[in-house]
Structure 1
Amino acid sequence: MEILASRVLFRPANYQRSLTFYRDAIGLAVAREYGAGTVFYAGQSLIELAGHGGGPPSAPPFPGALWLQVRDVYATQAELAGRDVAITRAATQEPWGLHEMHVTDPDGVDLIFVQIPDTHPLRRDSRT
């Protein structure tokens, strides 16, 4: 099997509310819009909000979280707070070395904004 592309797909309880959150509050760039949904750029991935398809919303409970790497989590926190986005867990350095901040989307999905310090193993070249 060959995977050609992937994205996270959400079916929000209120499409317009989630669209406003991801586009305006979080500030994600729109990759494409189609009649019943919007796809956002999210680093090397895509987040799609589907306003169609029926069935229950994707969350809550969402069985995980979105992990979003940023250059400076403290600047991101200030930017989001300036847009009146509620920070559910303030930016802090975790025992495992990453700097993390949490925000919750309108459907209860946890967004974890992560800054990877230069000295963290995720930044090291593992090739021998």
Structure 2
Amino acid sequence: MRVLSSEYPNVNLGTDLYDVLSVYNRALSDTEIKSYHNSFASRVVFKEDFKDAIVGQIPDVWKIVSGTFVINEDSQGKYLKCTSNGSIYYPLKDTNKTYTKLNNGNMTLSKSVSKVTLTATSGQIIRELILTQAKEV
């Protein structure tokens, strides 16, 4: 059987989706359930490590709400530093259903429907931020 749509014009239900879709006619084990759940924990929704940022500037996609922020670099790599109290955000499609896997720094993180906001006092930094679809169990 061939299903045609504008989104998936060449999908063959007989063969193409066999590896993607599985029908279970038995109870799943605890290990299988955990593995399925953790597959979402490994799906990175957002990652920022500032490695491509220019020292002394802020990447264009980050928007300053208040305060002053700058990209600095040391022997451990690049990082975002707050130089005067404030907040900065990164626009995202949907952050409500995400889990913060890594917040390598001491800024306060908040998530809303359409953005990730970092709030900081002067001197606070963040080196890396990772959001995933779920928390690993």
Q: Scaled by the length of structure 2, what TM-score is found?
A: 0.27
Q: Larger % of strand: which?
A: 2
Q: Larger % of helix: which?
A: 1
- Higher-Rg member (1/2): 2
Q: Scaled by the length of structure 1, what TM-score is found?
A: 0.28
Structure of higher RCO (CA pairs closer than 8 Å, 6+ residues apart): 2
